[in-house]
């Protein structure tokens, strides 16, 4: 069997990019029987997986994403004799000469309470094209049951068309206890001794509830020795946008910018709390990372967060900064409670495995191809 993988999201920073990189590597490591053809949009990625003898790499140059998806990929699938093409994102080439499988990373576009987080042009595109993609796809993978249920309800899809396949944080995510490693990462990012940790790229501040985080931190700032550490692309811009003062609590809000995946386990391990009261999530990768490192978690009591975190976190209303502040204070003030949360996190993390994700994904690719 020849399996094509569409990798235009390979270099994205954020959840979809992380998933794309990991699922590609895991499939290639797991499956030594079938042949893989990797389709890149960026020429610089050629050679990335050449260590695998069953891999062929192709660069497809196209003027935009739509042309790449809908013209260049179908032609390449025909030339390469592809049996099934897999896209780790939420589109399929509708004219592909083979079976197609795509991945849904959320359903917020179709949930009225969350639609204001997207541009109107994006919503129009999704509303027009998503029914076509779902109908054309041979199978659709969903990263959460919430997402699967929403799409099934919205489009009345045939039973089994959408299948939930949980993925996992990178294999490097585990508690870090080595003093030299912790010291090196602390020095690299100039981290304080005690801190609360959160993650959000600048373009996702509203969805990640940065406003609520700032308000909660301001409320408890005088009563805790902890600083607030934020990681994420361009997160230094938040302080200006939200009118955070240079003195007072603002001086103890530290913006790290983009953090490399290999450094994150140590940062989670040093944090006394991971604070993630996001408004909308399907499969929150940072939550699974915090679970795997045993970091105590305070997160939201709705959408995909509850599905993923289970009973391994303190759940709060993301629209109530006072409630967020109370939960943070509870965790930080009680070492025994923190240790209990940490143990529950490590236990919950066992639910999410790349071995299981890659195996289930490969089974689906084989089923649709046959």
Phi/psi region, residue 156 (left: phi>0; alpha: psi -120 to 50; beta: rest), is left
Structure confidence by residue, pLDDT tens digits, 180-197: 999 999 999 999 999 999
Q: Per residue in 163-195, is it b (16+ CB within 10 Å) or e — as a string?
A: bbbbbbbbeebbebeeeeebeebeeebebeeeb
Q: What is the pLDDT at residue 356?
A: 96
**Fold agreement (2-167+353-369, 179-349):** yes
Q: What is the mean pLDDT of residues 191-215?
A: 95
Structure confidence by residue, pLDDT tens digits, 247-261: 999 999 999 999 999
Alpha carbon distance 246, 58 (integer Å)? 50
Q: For residue 117, name the pLDDT band (cuts at 50, 70, 90).
A: confident
String of DSSP letters for 266-299: HHHHH-SEEEE--S--SS-HHHHHHHHHT--EEE
Structure confidence by residue, pLDDT tens digits, 119-159: 788 788 888 899 999 999 999 999 999 899 988 988 888 98
- For the chain, which residues make up each domain, given as ranges? 2-167+353-369, 179-349
Count CA atoms closer than 13 A to 280's CA, side-chain side.
19
Q: Minimal CA–CA distance to 192: which of 305, 299, 270?
A: 270
Q: For residue 113, name the pLDDT band (cuts at 50, 70, 90).
A: low
CB–CB of 90/45 below 8 Å? no
Q: What is the mean pLDDT of residues 340-348?
A: 97
45's enclosing H/E stretch is: none
Alpha carbon distance 121, 119 (integer Å)? 5
Q: For residue 112, name the pLDDT band (cuts at 50, 70, 90).
A: low
Instruction: Give start and end residues of each alpha helix (H) in the chain.
Output: 15-30, 65-67, 73-80, 120-136, 145-155, 179-189, 210-220, 238-241, 264-270, 285-293, 303-309, 321-333, 335-349, 354-369
Alpha carbon distance 356, 193 (integer Å)? 37
The percentage of the chain sitting over the pLDDT mark of 90, rounded to a whole number, equals 84
Q: What is the pLDDT at residue 32?
A: 94
Indicate the CATH number for domain 2-167+353-369: 3.40.50.2000
Indicate the CATH number for domain 179-349: 3.40.50.2000
Alpha carbon distance 75, 290 (integer Å)? 42
Q: What is the pLDDT at residue 107?
A: 75
- Terminal CA-CA length for the chain: 9
Alpha carbon distance 217, 325 (integer Å)? 7
Q: For residue 233, name the pLDDT band (cuts at 50, 70, 90).
A: very high
Q: Minimal CA–CA distance to 198: which of 310, 109, 318?
A: 318
Alpha carbon distance 40, 62 (integer Å)? 10
Q: What is the DSSP letter of 224?
A: -
Alpha carbon distance 326, 65 (integer Å)? 45
CB–CB of 342/295 below 8 Å? yes
The percentage of the chain sitting over the pLDDT mark of 70, rounded to a whole number, equals 98
Q: For residue 281, name the pLDDT band (cuts at 50, 70, 90).
A: confident
């Amino acid at each position: 069997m020849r399996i094509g993988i569409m990798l235009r999201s390979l270099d994205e920073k954020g959840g979809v990019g992380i998933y794309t990189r990991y699922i590609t590597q895991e499939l290639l490591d797991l499956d030594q029987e079938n042949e893989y053809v990797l389709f890149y949009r960026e020429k610089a990625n050629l050679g990335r997986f050449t260590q695998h003898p069953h891999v062929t790499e192709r660069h497809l140059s196209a003027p935009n994403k739509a042309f790449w998806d809908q013209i260049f990929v179908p032609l390449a699938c025909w030339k390469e004799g592809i049996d099934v093409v897999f896209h780790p994102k939420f589109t399929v080439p509708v004219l592909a000469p083979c079976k197609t499988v795509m991945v849904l990373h959320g359903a917020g576009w179709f949930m009225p309470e969350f639609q204001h987080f997207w541009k109107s042009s994006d919503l129009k595109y999704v509303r027009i094209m998503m029914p076509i993609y779902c109908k054309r796809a041979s199978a659709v993978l969903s990263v959460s049951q919430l997402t699967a249920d929403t799409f099934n309800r919205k489009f009345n899809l045939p039973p089994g068309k959408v299948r939930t396949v949980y993925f996992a944080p990178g294999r490097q995510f585990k508690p870090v206890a080595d003093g030299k490693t912790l010291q090196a990462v602390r020095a690299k990012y100039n981290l304080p001794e005690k801190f609360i940790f959160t993650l959000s790229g600048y373009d996702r501040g509203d969805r990640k509830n940065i406003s609520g985080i700032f308000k909660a931190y301001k409320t408890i700032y005088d009563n805790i020795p902890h600083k607030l550490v934020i990681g994420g692309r361009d997160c230094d811009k938040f302080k200006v946008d939200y009118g955070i003062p240079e003195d007072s609590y603002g001086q103890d809000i530290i913006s790290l910018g983009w953090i490399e995946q290999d450094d994150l386990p140590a940062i989670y391990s040093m944090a006394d709390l991971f604070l993630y009261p996001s408004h909308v999530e399907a499969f929150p990768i940072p939550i699974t990372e915090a679970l795997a490192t045993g970091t105590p978690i305070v997160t939201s009591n709705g959408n995909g967060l509850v599905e993923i975190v289970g009973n391994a976190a303190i759940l709060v209303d993301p629209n109530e900064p006072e409630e967020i502040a109370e939960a943070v204070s509870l965790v930080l003030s009680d070492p025994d409670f923190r240790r209990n949360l940490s143990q529950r996190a490590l236990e919950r993390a066992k639910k999410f495995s790349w071995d299981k994700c890659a195996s289930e994904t490969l089974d689906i690719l084989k089923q649709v191809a046959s």
